[in-house]
Amino acid sequence: MKTATQNVRSLAAIGLALIAAAALTLLASGAHAQVSKDLESLGSNRDVNKRAARLESRSRVAIVQNRTVKRNWRPEIGIQYAPVAYGDSYLQTQNVGLNADLHFTPKFSVGVRYSKAYNNLTNEGKAQYDRAQDADNSGSTDYSIPDVDVPQETILGVVNWYMMYGKINFFDASVIQFDIYSLAGGGQVQLKSGPTSTWTAGGGIGFWLNQHMTSRLRLKTWRSLKKIA
């Protein structure tokens, strides 16, 4: 049986509980309102910030990723198509060929390049020949024919140095790694008039698309070493 004293105690206990709950609620809402103030004060001491900024950072952060294609003692074969720019003004040459490379390390490789040349006269060359043909048909000897020595095939040995690397975001579809490289080499070019030595130098970008496919854009110059008699 409850007594009057017990009832009073019960009411007092409920009252205290309500006061405590209200106090907790107030504390909670006060704490919420405090967050932006606390956040504002965080790191706001200019003197400290200046002092910290003067220090050398004690950590170094970088992103390290594996190469798409491992290139220690890795062979690479490929086909090439190379139109010739800034060559003989009467001749338009396009080379189609095969490449074979051996990568010693990711930085260096040696390779062999074989290319077969497909030659056509440029508009200027064709006009020159047409004028000579017309003059010859009309019995005139007052014409000249350009002395064009066309390349037929070339074989080169090259050394490639992959001096820089990077990666590109390929239309947000994938990330492709690439190397910027330079090359130098020498070999032999078979001209119509006979074989002669040649050298080459240049540079390019190699894109490593996946483990089994690469793509290269290369710009190179080559000179035949045939002496003009």
Partner 1 sequence: MAIAEKDRVRMSIGRIRYETGDFDGAIAAYAKVTRGGGSYLTAAEETAWAEFRRDRPEAAIAKLQTVTSPAFKDVTTSEPWFLLGLAQLRVCDFKALFKTIDDFKGRYGEKVKKLESAKTVASKAELEEIGQSVQKLNIVEAEAIQLLYLDENGKPRKGSAPAIAKDSEQLSFPQVEGDEFWLDELEGFRVTLKGCARKGPSQVATKGGSK
Which residues of the shown chain bind partner 1 in the complex (CB under 8 A)? 28, 31-36, 38-43, 45, 48-49, 51-67, 70-72, 105-107, 165, 167, 169, 175, 177
* Closest distance to partner 1 from the beta carbon of 28 (Å): 8
Q: How far is the CB of 178 from partner 1 (least distance, A)?
A: 11
CA gap 103, 186 in Å, rounded: 18
Residue 108: other Cβ atoms inside 10 A: 14
Identity at 2, one-letter amino acid code: K
Pair 83, 96: CB distance under 8 Å: no
Complex with partner 1: residue 41 or 137, whichever CB lies closer = 41
Tokens 């060929």 correspond to what residue? Answer: 97
- For residues 38 and 142, which CB has a smaller minimum distance to partner 1 in the complex? 38
What is the smallest separation between the CB atom of 31 and partner 1, expressed in angstroms? 6
In the complex with partner 1, which residue's Cβ is closer, 63 or 79?
63
- At residue 106, what are phi and psi to the nearest 5 degrees? -65, -15
Residue with token string 């008039």: 193
To partner 1, the closest distance from the beta carbon of 36 in angstroms equals 5
Strand partners, 117: 95
Comparing CB distances to partner 1, the nearer of 74 and 216 is 74
Smallest CA-to-CA distance from 152 within 98, 216, 214, 196 is with: 196
State the minimum distance, in angstroms, from the CB of residue 176 to partner 1: 10
Shorter beta-carbon distance to partner 1: residue 68 or 190:
68
